Amino acid sequence: MAEIPVSTIYFKALPWHNNNKKPQRICWTFGDGRDTCINYPANYNGQYVVAHQYQHPGQYEVCVNIRYYGGCEAHKCKPIQIGPRPDSCRADFERIPNTSNTPLRVYLRALPWHNNNKKPQRICWTFGDGRDTCINYPANYTGQYLVAHNYQHPGVYQVCVNIRYFGGCEAQKCKPLQVGERPDSCRADFERAPLTANTPLTVGFKALPWHNNNKKPQRICWTFGDGRDTCINYPENYTGQYVVAHQYQHPGQYEVCVNIRYYGGCEAHKCKPIVVPPPQVNCTVRLFEITPSITSLVRGFLAIPTSAPPSRPIRICWYFGDGEDTCIMLNPNQPLPNLFIRHTYPGPGVYRACVKVRFENGCVAEDCKEVVIRSATNICGGYMTDSLIGPRTFKFKGFSIHAPNDEVLLYRWTFGDGTSALGREVTHTYSQGGNYNVCLYITTRLGCETKICRTVRVPGNNQPALVLTPNPVINVLHAAFFSTHTETVNIRILNSMGNVVRTYLRNATVGPNTWNFDLSTLLPGVYSFVVQSPNQLASAIFIKL
């Protein structure tokens, strides 16, 4: 007797060819040993479908192989489920709220799952106290699978549910269950809380209580690390946040602790290091240009500084963009003057002028603007700037002054040591110290030719730019600095962590300069001594005993 087909399945091939060529032959492997191939004419426009009758349910590996006109061939396989799947099931349960006034009564709900949607036939509960139960359900049952159990004593019990489904599949799940109130357990923690007011050195803290039985804090004590501590009592019906604000007298790092005592007696403690930064300082400066005409070489500049909180400017530096810069120290014992200066430029051009102001509170502000000087005639000329950017290394920059309808074709440099370079901006390192005549040659399209020369002083190989004695030092440190410019230099002393511990300003002249520094109160250790200006940079290491 022939077997009756279990199921007829239809498959549809999904061909794809980048040149839109059609399938010539499609072969199907159905996974049951009864395969087929179908040939298609080139003008076929229908769908590529096939029907197959399986004799038995199960999972089969079905493959399609498509050979296209032109010879391209492709293959794809997929698993196919025929008929119902073999039974698979799981068991789980959850606790639902206790609506009675019996504190040791527990309500549980079974959570069945069956891949073929078969229903539970029998559910057995093990409650962990030796008083278990099983419940049978009819196949047409549509309600929830609930059970209630009364325990004799509070505690933690191992509760299990075993579900046997219609069809024979069976599964089990166990969980620990807390009955009655658990013994008190608590923790304490805190975090920084944002403040609505920007009050310097004031920090907000927020306590983060936790209690396993959800009991609330009764008393929270704060230790802020500066000897000014506090405790706050809370009523049991308090529902707000547990926050506190504390104003420190000085910035720094403090050990902050919170101690929380809960209703019922449980108590917990937590400490953390907290950094209180210095008050934030904001400062600005506005630069204004004052000029009689667009062709005037003389320009006036006015700086207007502001600081919050208010702080007095102590130093102002002017950068005119032509290499002729200057810094001015402001006398703190005299009224603050108008921060105004006049400067004469060497010729027409576009310059970037800047002002930088340092305030007493350490804040530094800067502002810049473009200065445009137009030529009144067909003037032909130029100038150069130089800056020391490393040991015996200079950066040179050329500026051309020419008619508006002209442009520069060539910048050529000679450095006075037999070498040369091309470009508007160049960098050159000298092999040894000495005085060198640096020249810049500028050629424009309309024939303007300019030559500018200046002397550059380079410290010698055997003459370090900075020498510190004695080293190690006990009280007074002698610094010998060879300067290539006459200018104000900034001196910093940094500890081994890179933090600045001393700052000085000194007026340096071209050639050797000697200064003395009283370091008797400096802590013992290894330090860096740095001399810096817009044109120079030198550093050395010394040891303080």
Of the CA atoms within 13 Å of residue 34, those in its CB half-sphere come to 8
Choice among 177-181, 292-296, 359-363 with the minimum mean pLDDT: 292-296
pLDDT in tens, 149-177: 999 888 889 999 999 999 899 999 999 99
- Separation CA 326–CA 355 (nearest Å): 10
pLDDT in tens, 11-45: 999 999 999 999 999 999 999 999 999 999 999 99
Residue 6: is its pLDDT beyond 70? no
User: Alpha carbon 161 to chain centroid distance?
Assistant: 50
pLDDT in tens, 227-266: 999 999 999 999 999 999 999 988 889 999 999 999 989 9
Please state whether beta strands 210-211 and 49-54 pair in parallel, antiparallel, or not at all (unpaired): unpaired
SS (HEC) of 148-193: EEECCCCEEEEEEEEEEECCCCEEEEEEEEEECCCCCCEECCEEEE
Burial of 176 (0-12, 13-18, 19+ CB in 10 A): exposed
Percent of the chain with pLDDT over 70: 97
Residue 463: is its pLDDT beyond 70? no
Q: What is the mean pLDDT of residues 193-212?
A: 86
User: Alpha carbon 8 to chain centroid distance?
Assistant: 61
- Separation CA 380–CA 405 (nearest Å): 12
pLDDT in tens, 71-116: 999 999 999 988 777 888 999 999 998 877 788 899 999 999 998 8
pLDDT in tens, 40-72: 999 999 999 999 999 888 889 999 999 999 999
Domains and CATH numbers, the chain: 7-82 (2.60.40.10), 89-179 (2.60.40.10), 186-276 (2.60.40.10), 282-373 (2.60.40.10), 381-458 (2.60.40.10), 466-544 (2.60.40.1930)
**pLDDT at residue 422, rounded to an integer:** 93
378 phi/psi in degrees, rounded to 5: -80, 55
Alpha-carbon torsion angle 206, 212, 218, 220, nearest 10: -30
C-alpha pair distances (Å), 531 with each of 355, 356, 476, 478, 479: 21, 19, 18, 14, 10
pLDDT in tens, 315-348: 999 999 887 888 888 888 888 888 889 998 887 7
Of the CA atoms within 13 Å of residue 446, those in its CB half-sphere come to 11
pTM for the model = 0.34
DSSP-based helix, strand, coil % in the chain, nearest 5: 0, 55, 45
